[in-house]
Structure 1
């Protein structure tokens, strides 16, 4: 609830024997509470003196931790009024829709940028066999919203169908829009999976994340208007800036006698909903496990 006071919240003891400095431990503890909405926007943080007592640390440790949170834009500090959790600009992605991230962000008024990191022809493997070609075009991009990195996208396309694609044509552009304009291909259906995963060093650097941060991975295959597989993709989303939204509708009842003939796609909304409900808990468990392993 906005405007609430967190001064009575219990503190977690910091580990003075850890190789991680105390101010980073305190920052991490407060940061986790902000990101998991235990401390929602508008919440007043305890005073510096209260944090000193609660965590048994010096004033300089508290000030370093709060300063780091302020630099991230997670809290707002005001002279004489303490610190409060800052409003958050979250970008929402409707994962049950075929429109890509660029189109969805653009429709909200966000300034969307796309940097092509690499574009090359590779041999197909087991993960891209669904495309049905011996070679695939491998495309890696960095997507930003209002200048902030929010996703790294790796896409594989069949060759030779899309061999004429160039990095220049995809810079600051939507891939799906280019496929429609240049090749007459419309994405009309697909399969999607969501999971929380650890990010490697290069991925975390591109998304400006700490080494202990998990990321949100959306994987899938997209099909065109003729039912042909067009792309295989993996998109790693910044967990602080992207929220997955899913619209759920009740499916028409299927007669028991027709159950064996029902399309597997009929169960897709329920399956995605189950994944979405568990995603937050999975993400927090993964972050905790990574931090304890010292990643």
Structure 2
């Protein structure tokens, strides 16, 4: 954090109806959550915060106390306050495995509550499933007892009409589809965006009003390429991190002698072909020398 050059640039407003200690707590909290102050960072001393924000020592102590109660900072006598390490759950969004399976593989205790399971008419968003009616499933997922995701899933109703809420409680949907119906998720399409959360969503995820959430939407296909599910999953922004593995794109094949060939990285097959052609040219050149000598 840098100290404002002008007191008017300070983020606290003495004329606001919100108490100064809540304003200071919110300002520091935002910097912690957006990683401007990453875990392990030492906060300025109480005296420095007083000067920086133009507030009393009691205001600073109230704000730091609230952040400590939230588990966002750690305070120790003689060592000041530091940003606490955070328990983040990482989701590999480029994998076909679902959130439950990925969290379980890390040792987290995963829970799933079925909020509703109903049959609905298909609409434009679920038309890809190819059935006039769909099974609409809403779930709340927790990790180590903390709500981290609200999941809405739509399935082809005729195919999965035998699916019941009890079999999905504290279970992975993909695992249930494999065990009960022989369906394996083999591929899919995914989209990620940040969106504002509505009242019900924020309540389920224990988030404050106007908090943004991370939305992952997509369609999944089975081993035969048939669409199996359409889903929307809203993730808690403080507890879930999306990981994406990246790889260098394969170099496009170009013909020998083309302008782009010198910039391309040759594959072993291309190198071998060039070696064979070079060998043939050397043989022809050697034959020519022999004829000239004769």
TM-score (norm 2): 0.81
Partner of 2:149 in structure 1? 151
Gaps of 5+ in 1: 1-5, 258-295
Q: Residues 42-53 of structure 1 correspond to what in structure 2 (within 5 A)?
A: 42-53=40-51
Within a 5 Å distance, the mapping from 1:155-170 to structure 2 comes to 155-170=153-168
Match of 1:211 among 209, 228, 235: 209
* SS of equivalent to 1:77: strand
Q: Looking at CA atoms only, which structure, 1 or 2, has the larger radius of gyration?
A: 2
- Report Cα offsets for 1:117-141 as digits up to 9, x if no partner: 1111111111111111111111111
Alignment partner, residue 271 of structure 1: none
Alignment of 1:61-80 (within 5 A): 61-80=59-78
Deviation at 1:212, TM superposition (A): 2.7
**Shift, 1:49, TM fit:** 2.3
Aligned to 1:10: 3
Matches within 5 A, 1:172-211: 172-211=170-209
Residue of structure 1 in register with 2:261 after alignment: none
Q: Distance in 1 between matches of 2:203 and 2:195?
A: 15
Give, in angstroms, the shift of residue 37 of structure 1: 1.9
SS of equivalent residue, structure 1 residue 127: coil
Runs of 4+ aligned structure 1 residues displaced above 6 Å come to none
Match for residue 223 of structure 2?
A: 225
TM-superposed CA distance for 1:255, in Å, is: 4.9
CA distance in 2, matches of 1:122, 1:197: 25
- 1:50 offset after TM fit, Å? 1.9
Q: TM-score of the superposition, structure 1-length normalised?
A: 0.81
Cα-to-partner distance string for 1:67-125 (whole Å, 9 max, x where unaligned): 22112211112233321110111111100000000000111111111111111111111
In structure 1, distance between residues paired with 2:85 and 2:137: 34
